């Protein structure tokens, strides 16, 4: 459970980042609601943010870590040279991609959204401003990979926190002004660029302080360049099942769903889903990769078997309750975070249509990150890509079938189904490399199942018992804050009681029953108190 313990520390920092992300989303919902400006912002921000998720939150640094580790076996100087060469070559390649993207956006965005050039002008402008964010994210990802290899997990996890602080600062700066919605969106697009630069400067400073500063040079013939280019493409695709499904969801929503709220509703519901998958899936996948690489290097295959089973069961121990909570408390969570300003009851309804079905996929999205990282430890990036091709095609077919009948709910159903299939295929094929026992996994799930039922019952009962008092408490809290957003404040106590009470009940019963997955949590608590 060493990886689980390391991941808990990362999870705490990632949780801070995700909470700040929810605060950022609250301001975005209040500023833009789910109207036309929200649609333009979401589509424009989606591509650079998707690539940030792939690069800064895992895939690029995960493809880089095994190669950097190999260079470290030769010498620290060789590792610095390899890192420097990768950064220089990557900067050139990504700069070309950014420049090309800025040129072609006026042509591809109208096609992607099904709009005319005039209707898509704001989306095009915002996309062109924010696309350079990919460059800073790429270099930041390499620095993060170096730090993770040297067991410095904390500082890379702080990087997204900085980005969210900058974006929240951008919203707060605009609050006193009465700019038009389009003007606000343009100012905020520049805030994204500023956040990327601050992230990069922070990571670069830490690498320099730790004596890991790369030796920069341009050498396309260096062996690490061939390997990183070979691994990077499949690695990015291999971990992108959720992001690619999101792209397909938005494209299908733009063409096949008449309700303009569908696109922002999908994006807001997806970000709620990314809260548990980011806190748990990203942290575990980040921590397991260096651990597996070290075990492979030492020839300890048995250790990898135990490590993988414990990490998967620990992920389910945390993600299934998160999915249950999001489902039972969904409408209240949406109102609590987003309601106010331009966000009204119809926006909540549109978002809940998608969220309730995205909840099904929460455990599978997290498992996909963990299992993909396990393939990377063996420098196998092709297998996840082959699986990706199958599941993306399935997702596209299901989208086309379900969207005309069930709108954004159909798209969410499709994503959850393909997330499950992707996880099962990865798990089955990973046994060719790590001979873990499916029986062991099933036993862990059977042990945890009664806890999941207990949690669901408690949360549903809390909502049911609190219903008669919802409106009166909402009015009381809203009047205290001199606000008319009664729907938001009506959700405060139900969410607080159900989430906090359910969490304490779940962990308390698990502790009393000496559930194995509690070992990592107990270890962290003991070390903090000693």
The secondary structure of 426-461 as a DSSP string is HHHHHTTTS---HHHHHHHHHHHHHHHHHHHHHHHH
**Per the domain annotation, does 339 fall within a domain?**
yes
Bridge partner list, 276:
none
107 and 215 in a common domain: yes
User: Going by C-beta distance under 8 Å and a sequence separation of 6 or more, which residues neighbour residue 223?
Assistant: none
Query: What's the whole-model pTM score?
Result: 0.76
**Cα torsion 315, 317, 318, 319: sign:** positive
pLDDT of the residue at 200: 93
pLDDT tier, 205 (very low <50, low <70, confident <90, very high otherwise): very high
Which residue spans within 48-150 are E strands per DSSP? none
Closest-CA residue to 374 (of 281, 298, 440, 442): 281
**Per the domain annotation, does 442 fall within a domain?**
no
Average pLDDT on 172-195 reads 84
pLDDT of the residue at 529: 46
**Per the domain annotation, does 306 fall within a domain?**
yes
216 and 120 in a common domain: yes
Distance CA 268, CA 273 (A): 9
The better pLDDT of the pair 54, 238 is held by: 54
pLDDT tier, 349 (very low <50, low <70, confident <90, very high otherwise): very high
DSSP at 361 = G
Distance CA 98, CA 95 (A): 5
pLDDT of the residue at 401: 92
Q: Report the range out of 120-129, 367-376, 425-434 with the highest average pLDDT.
A: 120-129
pLDDT tier, 460 (very low <50, low <70, confident <90, very high otherwise): very high
User: Going by C-beta distance under 8 Å and a sequence separation of 6 or more, which residues neighbour residue 202?
Assistant: 155, 158, 159, 162
**Per the domain annotation, does 443 fall within a domain?**
no
316 and 456 in a common domain: no
117 and 149 in a common domain: yes
478 and 425 in a common domain: no
pLDDT of the residue at 386: 86
pLDDT of the residue at 232: 65
For 22-75, what is each residue's pLDDT tens digit?
899 888 888 888 888 888 888 888 877 776 666 555 566 667 777 888 888 888
**Per the domain annotation, does 125 fall within a domain?**
yes
378 and 256 in a common domain: yes
pLDDT of the residue at 528: 47
**Cα torsion 277, 283, 289, 294: sign:** negative
335 and 411 in a common domain: yes
190 and 60 in a common domain: yes
pLDDT of the residue at 357: 95
| Torsion angles phi and psi, residue 210, rounded to 5 | -85, 5
For 249-304, what is each residue's pLDDT tens digit?
778 888 877 777 888 888 889 889 888 876 776 666 666 656 666 666 566 666 66
User: Going by C-beta distance under 8 Å and a sequence separation of 6 or more, which residues neighbour residue 250?
Assistant: 42, 43, 46, 263, 266, 267
Reduced to 3 states, what is the DSSP secondary structure of residue 340? strand
Reduced to 3 states, what is the DSSP secondary structure of residue 393? helix
Query: What's the chain's average pLDDT?
Result: 82
Angle at 188 between CA 187 and CA 193, to 5 degrees: 100
258 and 309 in a common domain: yes
Name the residue range of residue 527's domain: 449-530
Average pLDDT on 128-150 reads 87
pLDDT tier, 521 (very low <50, low <70, confident <90, very high otherwise): low
156 and 220 in a common domain: yes
pLDDT of the residue at 213: 92
pLDDT tier, 425 (very low <50, low <70, confident <90, very high otherwise): very high
267 and 150 in a common domain: yes
475 and 381 in a common domain: no
Segment among 47-56, 108-117, 333-342, 451-460 with least mean pLDDT: 47-56
pLDDT tier, 6 (very low <50, low <70, confident <90, very high otherwise): low
Round the CA-based radius of gyration of the chain to a whole number and report it. Answer: 23
pLDDT tier, 175 (very low <50, low <70, confident <90, very high otherwise): confident
């Amino acid at each position: 459970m060493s990886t689980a313990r390391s991941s808990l520390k990362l999870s705490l920092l990632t949780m801070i980042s995700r909470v700040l992300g929810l605060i950022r989303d609250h301001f975005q919902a209040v500023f833009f609601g789910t109207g036309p400006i929200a649609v333009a912002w979401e589509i424009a921000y989606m591509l650079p943010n998707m690539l940030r998720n792939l690069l800064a939150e895992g895939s690029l640094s995960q493809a880089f870590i095994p190669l950097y580790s190999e260079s470290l076996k030769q010498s620290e100087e060789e590792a610095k040279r390899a890192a420097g060469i990768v950064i220089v070559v990557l900067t050139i390649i990504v700069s070309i991609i950014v420049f090309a993207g800025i040129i072609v956006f006026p042509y591809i965005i109208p096609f992607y959204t099904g709009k005319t050039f005039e209707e898509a002008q704001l989306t095009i402008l915002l996309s062109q401003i924010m696309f350079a964010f990919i460059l800073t994210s790429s270099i930041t990802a390499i620095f993060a990979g170096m730090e993770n290899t040297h067991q410095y997990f904390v500082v890379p996890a702080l990087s997204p926190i900085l980005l969210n602080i900058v974006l929240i600062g951008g919203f707060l700066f605009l609050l006193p002004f009465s700019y038009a919605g389009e003007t606000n969106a343009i100012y905020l697009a520049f805030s994204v660029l500023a956040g990327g630069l601050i992230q990069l400067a922070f990571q670069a400073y830490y690498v320099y302080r730790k004596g890991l500063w790369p030796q920069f040079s341009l050498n396309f013939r260096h062996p690490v360049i061939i390997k990183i280019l070979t691994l990077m493409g499949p690695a990015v695709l291999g971990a992108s099942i959720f992001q690619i499904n999101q792209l397909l969801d938005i494209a299908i929503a733009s063409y096949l769903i008449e309700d303009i709220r569908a696109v922002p509703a999908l994006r807001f519901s997806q970000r709620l889903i990314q809260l548990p998958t980011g806190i748990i899936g990203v942290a575990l996948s980040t921590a397991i990769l260096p651990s597996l690489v070290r075990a492979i290097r030492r020839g300890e295959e048995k250790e990898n078997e135990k490590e993988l089973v414990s990490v998967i069961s620990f992920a389910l121990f945390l993600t299934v309750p998160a999915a249950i909570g999001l489902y039972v408390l969904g409408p209240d969570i949406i109102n609590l975070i987003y309601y106010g300003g331009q966000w009204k009851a119809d926006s909540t309804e549109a978002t809940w249509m998608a969220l309730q079905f995205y909840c099904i996929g929460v455990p599978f999205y997290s498992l996909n990150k963990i299992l993909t990282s396990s393939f990377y430890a063996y420098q196998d990036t092709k297998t996840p890509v082959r699986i990706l091709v199958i599941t993306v095609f399935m997702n596209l077919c299901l989208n086309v079938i379900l969207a005309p009948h069930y709108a954004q709910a159909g798209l969410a159903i499709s994503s959850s189904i393909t997330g499950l299939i992707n996880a099962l295929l990865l798990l089955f094929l990973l046994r060719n490399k790590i001979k873990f026992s499916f029986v062991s996994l099933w036993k862990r799930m059977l042990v945890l199942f009664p806890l999941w039922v207990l949690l669901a019952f408690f949360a549903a009962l809390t909502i049911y018992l609190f219903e008669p008092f919802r409106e009166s408490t909402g009015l009381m809290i809203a009047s205290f804050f001199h606000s008319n957003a009664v729907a938001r404040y009506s959700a405060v106590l139900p969410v607080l009681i159900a989430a906090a009470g359910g969490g304490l009940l779940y962990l308390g019963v698990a502790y009393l029953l000496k559930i194995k997955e509690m070992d990592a949590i107990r270890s962290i608590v003991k070390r903090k108190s000693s």
